Structure formats: structure tokens, C-alpha cells
């Protein structure tokens, strides 16, 4: 049997033996209680938004968003529940970026790729002036 790695809990700072949740057992228990609060509130208030859920349960925004991204809180029957885009903060219901930020990222990546391709061609290719110089020798 191997001995587990000891680490400081990112939530409370206490030492603990690392586990799959990467928080100490005490904080894991607190997180589960927060999840139960959110789940219970949403069963009774399906039209709540993130702000209302936070205020009613006192669960931090970050933790609620984590529950959503982990799939523990489903947005399927929650028409007003959404979370902020990681880039611009616009409220979204899926993935981590809004369409606008995702499209801008794709465009930027395509431009960088095109620029690199142009640079590679310039390095490996020859210039027409060089070819003409060689003819006149």
C-alpha cells in the first residue's frame, strides 16, 4: 500500500492526504452541504438566476458555477440560470466562452497560423530578385 501525498487544502489551508476532490475531508463536507442547499433551493425555485441562488443560499458564486460546470447543477429546467463567460463576463448557459469570444479566438488563431505560414514561405522560398541576379552573372 502506497502512502498518499500530503498537501495543504486550497480552501482552508489545513494539511490533508490528497484525494480525487483535492480538498480536505472537512471542506469536502462543506462543499456537499453547499450543493444540497443549492439543489434544494432550485427544486423549489426553478426560475431563479445566479444572483438569487447565491443570495438565498449564501453559497459563493465560484462554487455555484463549479457545480454547473461539473454537471451537478443542470441548466435544463432552469430557464434563468446562467454563468459568466470566462473572457468577457457575458452570461452564458454552456461551455466556458460566449459565441463572440469563441469566434474572435478562432479568428485570431487562424490569423496567427496564416502569419506563420507566410513567414515559413519567406524563409524557405527564394526571392525573384535573387533568381534574376543569378541569370545576369
Q: What is the pLDDT of residues 55-68, one digit of tens each?
A: 999 999 999 999 99
Backbone angles phi, psi at 83, to 5 degrees: -140, 160
Reported as a single tens digit per residue, the pLDDT across 8-38 is 999 999 998 888 888 999 999 999 999 999 9
Contact (CB, 8 A) for 50 and 68: no
Cell readout for 75 is 441548466
Q: What's the average model confidence in pLDDT over 45-49?
A: 96
DSSP for residue 22: S
Q: Say how many CA atoms lie within 13 Å of 100 toward its Cβ.
A: 8
Which pLDDT belongs to residue 135? 59
In the chain, the N- to C-terminal Cα span, in Å, equals 78
At 134, is the pLDDT very low, low, confident or very high (cuts 50, 70, 90)? low
Question: What per-residue confidence (pLDDT) applies to 115?
Answer: 81
Mean pLDDT of the residues in the chain: 88
**Alpha carbon distance 31, 11 (integer Å):** 10
pLDDT for 50 equals 97
Residue with cell 447565491: 54
DSSP category for residue 45 = -
Instruction: State residue 129's pLDDT score.
Output: 64
Amino acid at each position: 500500500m502506497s502512502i498518499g501525498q500530503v498537501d495543504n487544502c486550497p480552501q482552508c489551508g489545513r494539511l490533508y492526504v490528497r484525494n480525487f476532490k483535492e480538498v480536505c475531508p472537512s471542506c469536502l463536507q462543506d462543499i456537499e452541504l453547499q450543493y444540497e442547499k443549492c439543489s434544494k433551493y432550485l427544486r423549489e425555485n426553478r426560475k431563479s438566476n445566479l444572483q438569487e441562488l447565491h443570495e438565498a443560499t449564501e453559497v459563493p458564486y465560484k462554487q455555484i458555477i463549479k457545480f454547473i460546470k461539473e454537471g451537478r447543477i443542470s441548466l435544463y429546467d432552469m430557464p434563468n440560470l446562467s454563468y459568466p463567460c470566462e473572457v468577457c463576463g457575458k452570461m452564458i448557459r454552456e461551455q466556458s466562452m460566449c459565441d463572440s469570444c469563441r469566434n474572435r479566438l478562432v479568428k485570431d488563431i487562424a490569423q496567427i497560423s496564416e502569419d506563420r505560414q507566410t513567414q515559413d514561405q519567406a524563409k524557405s522560398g527564394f526571392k525573384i530578385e535573387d533568381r534574376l541576379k543569378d541569370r545576369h552573372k
